[in-house]
Each structure stands twice: as C-alpha cells, then as structure tokens.
A and B are shown apart, each in its own frame.
Chain A
C-alpha cells in the first residue's frame, strides 16, 4: 500500500510537470467516462432499477386482440374483466384500472390532475401498501361509497408538503367531494403520471352484460409463484377460446386472443432497444478515448525510456515498473472519472429534459449510488485498460542504454506498430459511430419530411375535461363546446378554432361499424376505423385538404342527419371504385345513427409520423358531443402562444372551475412526437463527432511523432535531392495507410452491427449505401487533413540541422 501511495505521489508530480499531456488525457477520459455514466444513469433508472413493486417480474399486463382485423393490444370491458377474474388459473390476483383527468377546485385556481380509478385489488396485485393511512376496500367499489382517495407520494409531497394530517382531508374533484384515506410509497405511480387513485365503481350500464364490447379497462395480473410467462400465455389462450365459445357474437371468427405481456416490457419495452443502443454507442466513444490516451501514454513511455532504464538498473522489477506506470494511468482515469462525474450529472439532467415525457420512469433517473459506483468502476477499469499495454511496453527496457551517454528514447518497431494499431482501431470505432449517427440522422430527416397531412405551424392546442357535475347531459356538453368556439373565434388574431376528441399523432381509438347494404360473411370481421369527433372548423383549422365533397358544418347538428368526413385511405379501402360519397355507415355505439359520408380529406398521420395513415372517420362533435375536448386555434399571424392568455380568460369566463390544461403549440406536439428519435440522432451525432475528433487527433499525433522520429531520415532524403512534395507524399501516404486500414475495418464492423439498428430506423435501410460511402469519405477526408499538418512540418526540415542532430 505504501508503495502504491508513493507511486501515486510520484505520478501526480510527474503529470503536473506535463500539463498539456495531462489536460488532453483527462479531458478525453472525462468525455468518455462522463458520457458513459450519463447514459448509464438513464439505463439504470429506466431499465435496471427494479420498479417499486414486490417481485415485479411476476407482474403482467393483459390485452385483447382481434388478430384477423389486425387490431392488437386493446383494453377490456367490465364483463370481460369479470371473465378474467374467474376463468384463468395462472394469476394469484388481478386488478383493473382506468386513467382519467379530473379538475381539483378549492385552491387558488382549478387544476388538472390524473386520477386513476382502480379496483381495490390494484395495490395488493402490485405488491405495494400505503405508507400512511389505508388502501381501498372492495366495498368501496360501489357507487356512492367510492369517493375516497389514495395519494401518490409525489402528490402528497408537492401539494400537501408531506403533511401527515392529510388523512381525512376533503378534496373537490370535478364537483364531487372525496376524502383522502391513504398515501403510497415513493415512486409508485402506475399507470404513469397518476396523481391520485380512487376506487373503480362501474355504473350499471357499464357493468351490464351488453357492454361486453365497451372496452376501457386496463388489466394487470400477478402470476402465481413459480409460474412462467409462457404458462400464463397458454392459460389465457384457453380462456380466450372459452370466451369465444360462450360469447360467439363478440369473438368468434375474429381471431380473438388474450395476450400476456410482462409489465416491465409494457413500461419500458419501447425505449429498451434505443437505450441499450446508446449505451453501446457511448461505449465505443470510451474505447476511442482510451485508445487516444493509450497512444499518448505510449509516446510518453518512449520519451521516458531512459528513466525506466535507470529505475530498472537500480533494481526495479518489471512489476514495480508496471506499477509505477499503472499508478499514472489510474491517477489520470481518477481525474477523468471525477470530471466525468460532473459531466454525467449535467448530462443526465440534460438527457431527461430533452426526452421529456418520452422517457418512462424518468423520475427514477439520476446520478445515484449505482451511477457513482459505475463511474468509479469504469474509471478503474479504464485506467487499467488503457494503462496496462503502455505500462508493459514501457517496462520492456534496454538496460544497457543507461550506460550510453545522452541516449534518447526511440520508438521500437513493436511500440510503433502498437501505436499505429491503436489509431486504426480509433478510426474504425469512429466510423462505426459515424455510420450509426448517419443512419439515425437520415432516418430523422426522412421523418421530418413526412407529409403529416396537416399544417401544424400557427396552431395552439389545449385540453378541457368537462366534469359530470354540470355537464352530464349531451346538450350541456354541446352548448359548452359551441360557446367556447364562439368566444375563441371572436378573439382578435384568431383565424379559426375547432375541437376534437384526439389530436393527430395522439393515439388510437378503434371503433367498429356497419356499412349500409353490406353483410358480413361468416367469420368476417366488422370493419373498424380510427374515429375522431370534431367540430365543423377542426379540419379547416389544421388546414387539412378536402379532396371531395364537403367538410363538416355547423349545420351537422343533433337534429340533422348524421354526417361523417373520411380520409382517403378509408375511401380507397371500402369504396375502391371512388363512390364513397353518399354511402352510409353506423358506429357500434349505443347512441349512434346511420351516418352519411359527406366528404373525403387527405390522410392525417393520426398515430405518429412514423406510422402510415389508417382508415379514419371524422364525425360531427355536435352529433356526438365531447366531454374531453382538444381545443385547436389557428392564429392569423405570429406565434400561437401569444393568444394563450386571451384564450384562458375566455375559458375562465365560461366556467371558472374549468382549467385549460396542457396548452402548447401544435408544432411542439409534432416535435415531441419525434423527440426520442431526435435525441437518438443528436446523441449519436455527438458521440460520433467526439470519436471523429479523437481519431483525427490520434492520426495527427502518430504521424507527428513519426515525423519527429524520422527527422534525420527526412534530412538525408532532402540532402539527396528529394523535393518537398516527395517528403509530403511520403508522410501523407503513412497517414492514408492508417486511415484506409481503419476505414476498411470500420466498414466491416459497421456492416455487422448495422443489422441491430434496422428496427429503430425509418425511411432508410440499415445498409444505406449513401451513408456508408459518405461516412467513409468524410472520415478519409478528416484523416487526410489530420495528416497534412505533420506532413507539412516534415517538408520544412533543414537538411543540415537534421544531419547535425545525430
């Protein structure tokens, strides 16, 4: 230990004497380690940290599927949930829940909160118990007894300052009075963003057997101990078949099946691939950084050959020499790790901020003990990793050189090859990262060029949820909607305004329907479409192009014949002869009427920019009034945000208890919908840029060192009549050779690894030739540039001085 500390002391002193080298090495390592720690913090928080549930690996999510209609992962109805409670054998418990928005009143201003209505079994199923008060009882799953609340820890902390006296407090939600009965432990917010929980008490209508097709409940289950996911899937296959037998009219012939998916996959499945990819990519950055530092250390070791020889002559064994060099690399990596930790802290926060809502479990992401341990471990590994080879190389000394006066360190063939090999590796790794970045950038570019079918610029959006109290009747809802639009449209600067039940890029609402005059063959599925309910000016506000017929109008009211505008995909699918206009359809909804197709519009990307348009129908929101409204307002000029205050005050004037929430511009929503892809492209670009810079410095360093070593040779060549251009070409050739080898190796590696990216790309193949060729050309150009400087220096060697230098 004493020897180690002494080595560290000497190392510190030695590094202090070479500030340039030390700064370069520490910065390279800080970049590599910091970036790795930041990405690890995200991976750790999202993927590795166990969720705050008991034995989370036993938790699963159940989904319905109509395979033949290509409809997957649908929620379930109350009658179906009851089947799930009795028919399966695989679960020790099951729970159902429905997320909703409520308005909290009684404070300074009304606030929107996410209320999850759940069965009493939710908390036991998840394996969590309140830290304060109690959970729900089954008796409270009854209308009239269901006005009790369990708060998430976050809500308790942010709204009630963790006041233990919160139990028994009454809150006004959507006009109803609820009593707080419990508080959950930290981190338990399932489904995501839940603020409050209340018991799920179905109305008689929802619970009725005829409501089997009215699906709105999510179901989670806890597998019996020892039971595998596969066994549960087999069990639910059996249940699906039994349901099909018992309720043929709902399931038979549609490919009905119940899927069982791990809850972990449900929560983080979408980001898992991307996060591991980023961790892999940032690992490459560290490899490049380590190669850089190893290269610097090799050069330094060569320069210190004499010192090493002296130490060896005085009796230092190889282990002692290696120990001395390793102490230096460990000091460097410790400094790099320390600085990297600061970078990681900043980087982690920046990553979470950039991804925003796109990152599940974002609250669990942070620089915690695991991240610090990871950084420390990585620093030690890195220190040994990049230090060992130079240390071993340095400890292989020519002892007799100590006897030679003025003998200077010259690089042996092996060290030279090692340094060249490291540069080839750096170039290869940089190329792999550049190919990855190139593919993601092209993918992102392709996405930004997708025609979304509407014009988001100049549109402000916000949400309103009408509570049952005061808005129970359709006419109340309709009146609110009409008055809201009248007031907003009258505001100066507003070009048009509309409401809908769901914005583009927002998600799915599959509803089946009948087509007049068509009967289903045995086993044929009901057709199902994306269904949107919109006011007359909604599509106009989004500047959706009308292809045929007319848009919805104010006259498409409750007393008029029902009208629907459909998208081109819908028209092409069901009326390929182009005779869609005038056809009639009827939604499978209790109060639906036969509805006439009055217009055909362009396709909108309703599921996201990367998902092709599906058949979509736009019904009149006056005929099917909304309780949850998305307001869209197009401004005549300027930023849409400028109208926010005016619109909010109109809403307040209309109903002081209704907050307009999630107010944002449509452009921002479009941006957020591709936020994770942008982040991936951005990070890959950053990683690749860093690797490119380090690789360029590596090439320049190796060639520069070689030129310094060959000064005499250059002098002799020039004395013998070599032109400057001959020397230039001689040096450039060396750089080009290294870069060529690196590019070749990198291309092979990229071809092998690109396959892993294929599922994460859009609009570009994983083997996109333009990307591969472009990246290879870029890297070769940079390598040539990096070689130019030392090559130019070589041409300025004075032959006389060079010869005297002997």
Chain B
C-alpha cells in the first residue's frame, strides 16, 4: 500500500507517455498511490482539514467504495483523485507518475485520457444528444470522427442505450441518463472510473440497474473508485475505505 514519491526521478518520456495515454497497465499493478495527502481550507480565522494525511493505494482491477458520513471528505477525495481539486500537501501518483504538479492544461489532458467520471446528477449536457454527450471527451482528445463514432456506438451498446443515441438527455429517465453517463465515462477506455454517488439521484430499481452495470464493467476489468453512503452498494465493491473527519479510519478488503 505504501509507495514512494518518485516524481523527481520520473523520466520525461514516461510523463509524456502518461499524458499521451500510451501507457499500458499491467493487471494488479498499483494504479493510484496517495501518500500523506492533505487538503486544508483556510479562511482568515479558521483552518479546516478536509483531508488529513491520506495514504491510499488502488490497484488495477479493484472496485473501491469510499464511505463515510457527510463532511467526512469523500467527495473532496474523489475530486482530488479526478484532478478536479488541488491538495495542500502530499503525493499523488497516477500509474506511477506524479500528477499534482501538472499545469491546468496537462491536468485536463490526464482527465480526458485516463479518468472516467460518473456523477450523482449525471451531468449530461442538455443541449447535446446522447451520442454527442458520449462523444464529447473523445472530441476533446482530437480523435478522428470515424474512430469516435465507433467508440461511442460501442459504449452505448455496452450500457444498452444505443437505441437512444439521437435523443436529448431531457427525453430520458434518470436511470437512462446515468447509463449514458457511464457510457461517456468508459468510451475513452480510462485507467479508472470515478463514481460519485452514482445511484444517489435514482430510485431503487434504477439504482440497482446502474450498480449491475458497474459490476459488469468491473468484471470486464475496469478499476472503479466509488463514493457512496449506501452500505448495500458499498458491499458490492471489493474494498471499502471509510473516512471520518478527513482521515481514513478503516480499509476493508473483501475478496
């Protein structure tokens, strides 16, 4: 679980490999390594530790559920893992490369190529069709149109939404929207899927369906890191990390 910060020794060519998405991940190898990760919100009078000295290692193929009460730092941790937020101290290695010191545009590049997001509120763009929503990250990647089309169709097929490709998000149910969001997350073949309360906005039936979809993806080899406050959903994951007041208080490996 412990790793060393080898940022200074990372060859430039390897950095480039991470950014270009050319890196290949070996099964079971360490994918995410956090060491002493601390996030402090400072105001004039108060200093709040959102994350405090987090040490975490996620291996390829794992499904990690992050649980904890409100304000425990779950979403902040997921935001840091997704390079959506910065840290105050610590080390974050993604596929062995330090990613905390990257510029904004390089962070965008890493998000685009290596991370797939699934949000609680789906976060589909209302003005774009289902197809275009799934296509969006691939467009930012500069992928040729033909390859994009192929990937989007495959991803939509995988989540059973191919027949709704031309629909607008507003024409879909919540469950369908989340399936489209899952398709968008997997279309670019990311290293890891980050899911933030993926069933939080869904009824139980649709919630179960989405969990089923994530299970299938996991069985197919996907690495998933999921924030949830539903113990039943957390139990589906292979490992549960519990946070409290910004600290890891329990790390339970199930199988």
Q: Which residues of A contact B (CB under 8 A)?
A: 2-3, 6, 10, 13-14, 17, 306-307, 310-320, 399-400, 402-406
The interface residues of chain A lying within 8 Å CB-to-CB of B200 are 405
Contact A314:B104 (CB < 8 A) given known A403-B75, A403-B84: no
CB pair B105–A318 under 8 Å, yes or no, is yes
Contact with A317, one of B105, B126, B196 (Cβ below 8 angstroms): B105
Within 8 A of A (CB), among B173-222: 184, 196-197, 200-201
- Determine whether B165 belongs to the interface, using a CB cutoff of 8 Å to chain A: no
CA distance A727 to B111 in the complex (A): 46
CB pair B127–A315 under 8 Å, yes or no, is no
How many Å from the CB of A234 to the closest CB on chain B?
A: 64
CB pair B119–A315 under 8 Å, yes or no, is no
- Determine whether B150 belongs to the interface, using a CB cutoff of 8 Å to chain A: no
CB pair A311–B79 under 8 Å, yes or no, is no
CA distance A314 to B141 in the complex (A): 10
The interface residues of chain A lying within 8 Å CB-to-CB of B197 are 405
The interface residues of chain A lying within 8 Å CB-to-CB of B113 are 315
Contact A314:B112 (CB < 8 A) given known A2-B145, A307-B125, A399-B85: yes
Q: Mark B51-87, 1 if CB is under 8 A from A, else 0.
A: 0000000000000000000000001101100101100
How many Å from the CB of A780 to the closest CB on chain B?
A: 39
The interface residues of chain A lying within 8 Å CB-to-CB of B131 are none
CB pair B78–A403 under 8 Å, yes or no, is yes
CB pair A310–B85 under 8 Å, yes or no, is no
Contact with A402, one of B105, B123, B126, B136 (Cβ below 8 angstroms): B123
CB pair A13–B121 under 8 Å, yes or no, is no
The interface residues of chain B lying within 8 Å CB-to-CB of A317 are 104-105, 108-109, 140
Contact A400:B120 (CB < 8 A) given known A314-B184, A315-B111, A317-B108: no
- Determine whether B10 belongs to the interface, using a CB cutoff of 8 Å to chain A: no
Within 8 A of A (CB), among B211-240: none
- Determine whether B161 belongs to the interface, using a CB cutoff of 8 Å to chain A: no
| With A14-B127, A313-B123, A315-B141 already in contact, 13 other A-B pairs whose C-beta atoms are closer than 8 Å | A6-B139, A310-B123, A310-B125, A313-B82, A313-B84, A316-B136, A318-B108, A319-B105, A399-B79, A400-B76, A400-B85, A403-B196, A405-B120
The interface residues of chain A lying within 8 Å CB-to-CB of B139 are 3, 6
- Determine whether B92 belongs to the interface, using a CB cutoff of 8 Å to chain A: no
CA distance A404 to B200 in the complex (A): 12
CB pair B201–A405 under 8 Å, yes or no, is yes
- Determine whether B128 belongs to the interface, using a CB cutoff of 8 Å to chain A: yes
The interface residues of chain A lying within 8 Å CB-to-CB of B121 are 405-406
- Determine whether B96 belongs to the interface, using a CB cutoff of 8 Å to chain A: no
CB pair A311–B125 under 8 Å, yes or no, is yes
The interface residues of chain B lying within 8 Å CB-to-CB of A306 are 123
Chain B interface extent, by class: 35 or more
CA distance A520 to B128 in the complex (A): 93
CA distance A654 to B4 in the complex (A): 116
CB pair B128–A10 under 8 Å, yes or no, is yes
Q: What residue in chain A is nearest B128 (Cβ atoms)?
A: A10
Contact with B117, one of A2, A14, A313, A319 (Cβ below 8 angstroms): A313
Q: What residue in chain B is nearest A316 (Cβ atoms)?
A: B140
The interface residues of chain B lying within 8 Å CB-to-CB of A405 are 120-121, 197, 200-201
CB pair B140–A314 under 8 Å, yes or no, is yes
CB pair A403–B108 under 8 Å, yes or no, is no
How many Å from the CB of A401 to the closest CB on chain B?
A: 9
The interface residues of chain A lying within 8 Å CB-to-CB of B82 are 313
CB pair B105–A10 under 8 Å, yes or no, is no
CB pair B117–A314 under 8 Å, yes or no, is yes
The interface residues of chain B lying within 8 Å CB-to-CB of A313 are 82, 84, 111, 117, 123
How many Å from the CB of A150 to the closest CB on chain B?
A: 64
5 A-B pairs closest in CB distance: A315-B112, A399-B84, A314-B137, A310-B123, A317-B108
Pull 17 A–B residue pairs with CB atoms less than 8 Å apart, ordered by A: A13-B127, A307-B125, A310-B125, A311-B125, A311-B140, A313-B111, A313-B123, A315-B108, A315-B140, A317-B105, A317-B140, A320-B140, A399-B79, A400-B79, A405-B120, A405-B201, A406-B121
How many Å from the CB of A545 to the closest CB on chain B?
A: 76
The interface residues of chain A lying within 8 Å CB-to-CB of B109 are 315, 317
The interface residues of chain B lying within 8 Å CB-to-CB of A13 are 127-128
CA distance A320 to B111 in the complex (A): 14
Q: What residue in chain A is nearest B181 (Cβ atoms)?
A: A310
Q: What residue in chain A is nearest B112 (Cβ atoms)?
A: A315
The interface residues of chain B lying within 8 Å CB-to-CB of A316 are 108, 112, 136, 140
Within 8 A of A (CB), among B92-124: 104-105, 108-109, 111-113, 117, 119-121, 123
CA distance A399 to B112 in the complex (A): 14
CA distance A333 to B142 in the complex (A): 27
How many Å from the CB of B196 to the closest CB on chain A?
A: 5
CB pair B127–A312 under 8 Å, yes or no, is no
CA distance A118 to B200 in the complex (A): 93
Q: What residue in chain B is nearest A15 (Cβ atoms)?
A: B127
The interface residues of chain B lying within 8 Å CB-to-CB of A404 are 75
Q: What residue in chain A is nearest B145 (Cβ atoms)?
A: A2
Contact A17:B127 (CB < 8 A) given known A400-B84, A400-B85: yes
CA distance A319 to B109 in the complex (A): 12
CA distance A125 to B170 in the complex (A): 74
The interface residues of chain A lying within 8 Å CB-to-CB of B104 are 317-318
CB pair B184–A403 under 8 Å, yes or no, is no
Most buried by A among B78, B111, B132, B145: B111
CB pair B136–A311 under 8 Å, yes or no, is yes
How many Å from the CB of B143 to the closest CB on chain A?
A: 11
CA distance A517 to B112 in the complex (A): 104
CA distance A100 to B124 in the complex (A): 78
Q: What residue in chain A is nearest B110 (Cβ atoms)?
A: A315
Q: What residue in chain A is nearest B84 (Cβ atoms)?
A: A399
